[in-house]
Amino acid sequence: VSNAGVGMVGPLECQSLAAMQSLMDTNFFGLVRLVKEVLPDMKRRRGGHIVVISSIMGLQGIVFNDVYAASKFAVEGFCESLVVQALRFNVAISLVEPGPVTTEFEAKVYEEAERADYSRTDPETADIFTNLYLRNSKDVFASLGQSPEDIAEHTLRVIEAARPPFRHQTNVAYTPMAALKHADPSGALMTDAFYKLVFKYDAVLRLSLR
């Protein structure tokens, strides 16, 4: 089970390249290093199961989560490319894709975001992040957040499955979001829907979450 991860939220201009590279080293290359260690023996034994804790943000980018989403997209692409070869050797790969999970991990990320310096971005972007994104995120976690125990139960079901799924989403509230992206290959439908949700109907979003 690959579960190492770090988070990053905020305007892109306010993130250092060193911090981005460190995040990718943990979230993506940490997984790569693990798979390189365990896969050869699994192939020799012609049996094994690699379970990767990914994220719904490996399927859908979320505003102000640019680099974190990129790391999870990398995880998804890596596993999607590897799974066909692995199946040839009777090795299963499963991606567990949670939405928001209420843990110290998330709390720390958002506490740091509230204290951060946003002078490197323009005032409008800083205002959108602090007064729209952070406020809505708290409502999202309060309304839709899962417990670590719930994610552990989902992961256990994936591990114990007779035919392990390649992808397993833990929160059905996010299924329509993933479906929306695949419904329109041009991306226009998804982009328009998210733009309106964030900038036109944010009051309705907050009310519905509450």
pLDDT over 80 (residue 35): yes
Instruction: Give the list of residues 6+ apart from residue 63 with CB closer than 8 angstroms, or none.
Output: 133, 194, 198
pLDDT confidence of 50, banded at 50, 70, 90?
Answer: very high
**Closest-CA residue to 166 (of 92, 71, 89):** 92
Question: Which residues are part of the catalytic machinery?
Answer: 68
How do residues 114-124 score in pLDDT, each as one tens digit? 788 889 999 99
pLDDT confidence of 105, banded at 50, 70, 90?
Answer: confident
pLDDT over 70 (residue 207): no
pLDDT over 70 (residue 189): yes
Q: What is the mean pLDDT of residues 184-191?
A: 89
pLDDT for 98 equals 94
Model's pTM, two decimal places? 0.89
pLDDT confidence of 54, banded at 50, 70, 90?
Answer: very high
pLDDT confidence of 144, banded at 50, 70, 90?
Answer: confident
pLDDT for 22 equals 98
pLDDT for 208 equals 63
pLDDT for 205 equals 65
Q: What is the mean pLDDT of residues 178-201?
A: 85
pLDDT for 156 equals 97
User: What are the structural domains, with CATH classification, of the chain?
Assistant: 12-209 (3.40.50.720)
pLDDT over 80 (residue 170): yes
pLDDT over 70 (residue 94): yes
Mean pLDDT (the chain, rounded): 90
